[in-house]
Structure 1
Amino acid sequence: MIEYHSLREASPEQTIAWMEVLAENLRPSDLDEIAATSDMDPLLSLTTSVMLSDMAWVITSNDIPVAVFGCAPAGPAGSGLVWMMGTPLMDERRTAISIARSTVPYLRQMHQRYACLWNHIDARNEKSMKWLRWSGFRLLEAVPDYGREGRLFFIFARYDPDV
């Protein structure tokens, strides 16, 4: 069973425990993206993302953390940097469908604060790009030579003018 847990309501101990499990089991595509953009180890990358975010959730499946996602203020006023990282369990068909369907209300919640949700994505991360398109994000611009590895990334965004 898929459940969402607000990291603003979880104890610091629980949050760290979830981040440790996720960091030890991240999808290769998420590990590649972290390595391409920074020299942080996975646990530091996850923890930093959570700490900078004003909204963040852990997704569990049968009490096992499979993903973490959130949003942090970034860019022009009214813009939020949206992000998600997870384990290979989030790519299993039933789990992937459940996550895809159930993240829409969380995107709406983010849009209550930010008219524009955006970020960069590694061009190699095909599964995440599929979810982005399904969720109403658009790939806007190619950014060659991005990050410390100089990889091809795309800027993606989703806009809600009613904010």
Structure 2
Amino acid sequence: MIEYLDLREVDGGTLLGLLSHLAENLRPSDIDEIQATTGTGPMQALVESVAVSERAWIIRVDGEPVCVFGAAPTEFPGAGSVWMMGTSRMDERPVALSICRNFRPYLAELHKLWPILFNFIDARNQKSMDWLLWGGFQIIEALPNHGPEGRLFFTFSRYEPPCVHPSSPA
């Protein structure tokens, strides 16, 4: 069974336990990306990502945390910085299909806060790029020499404008 835990409703001790499990089991590609982006370890990256996020969720499968994602405000009006990190379980076909079937409402929730969702992805992180493309994100720009390791990264984004009623003034 898959469940999405809204991290606004999780107490601090439980949250640290969930993040610790994720940090100890992150996909190697996510660990490499964290290192290339920040130079920090997985636990610090997870805690900081959750702390700065306006909204964040952990996906559990049969009680086991397999993924954490969210989005944080940026200095750009209308744009949020979206992120996701997970264990290799999120790439298992039945788990991936279940996440795919249930994920779109959470993107819609983030788009209520920010019409533009964006961030940067390590060019080596093909599995995450596949997830992004599935989720309707576009790869929009190459960033050579990004982060402390000077790696090739790409900017990705997804735009969903707010709905405007046809009779509303523009």
**1:106 is matched with which residue?**
106
Q: Is the 8 A contact 1:27 1:86 kept in 2?
A: yes
Q: Which residue number in structure 2 is paired with residue 83 of structure 1?
A: 83
**SS of structure 2 residue aligned to 1:23:** helix
Q: Name the CA distance, whole Å, in 2 between partners of 1:77 and 1:151.
A: 28
Higher CA-based Rg: 2
User: Could you say which residue in structure 1 is the equivalent of 2:20?
Assistant: 20
SS in structure 1 of the partner of residue 114 of structure 2: coil
Deviation, 1:126, is 0.8
Q: Percent of aligned pairs with the same residue?
A: 52
Superposed structure 1 runs of 4+ greater than 4 Å apart? none
Aligned-partner residue type, residue 59 of structure 2:
I
> What is the aligned partner in structure 2 of residue 38 from structure 1?
38
Gaps of at least 5 residues in structure 1 are none
Aligned to 2:127: 127
TM-score by length of 1: 0.98
SS in 2 for 1:143: strand
1:139 — aligned with what?
139
Instruction: Note the C-alpha offset of 1:74.
Output: 1.1
Q: What residue is the counterpart of 2:168 in the other structure?
A: none
Q: In structure 2, how many angstroms separate the alpha carbons of the residues matched to 1:96 and 1:62? A: 14
Query: Given the alignment of the two structures, is residue 5 of structure 1 paired with residue 5 of structure 2, yes or no?
Result: yes
Q: CA RMSD in A?
A: 0.9
- Matched letter for residue 96 of structure 1: A
Look up the equivalent residue of 2:54 and give its one-letter code.
D
- Provide the secondary structure at the position in 1 that maps to 2:124: coil
Q: Which residue of 2 aligns with 1:60?
A: 60
Structure 1 residue identity aligned to 2:121: I
* Superposition deviation, residue 160 in structure 1: 1.0
Q: Per the alignment, in what secondary structure is the counterpart of residue 100 of structure 2? A: helix
CA contact (8 A) 1:58 1:65 kept: yes
1:109-137 superposed Cα distances (whole Å, 9 cap, x missing partner): 00001010000001111111111111110
Q: Structure 1, residues 58-86: CA drift from partner, whole Å, max 9, x if none?
A: 00010000000000001410100000001
CA distance in 1, matches of 2:67, 2:26: 9
Superposition deviation, residue 39 in structure 1 = 2.0
Asked if structure 2 preserves the Cα contact closer than 8 Å seen for 1:145 and 1:151, the reply is: yes
**Counterpart of 1:73?**
73
Unaligned runs of 5+ in 2: 164-170
Q: What SS is found at the alignment partner of 2:8?
A: coil
Q: Cα deviations across residues 134-163 of structure 1 (Å, max 9, x unaligned)?
A: 111000000011111111100000001226
SS of 2:113's equivalent in the other structure is coil
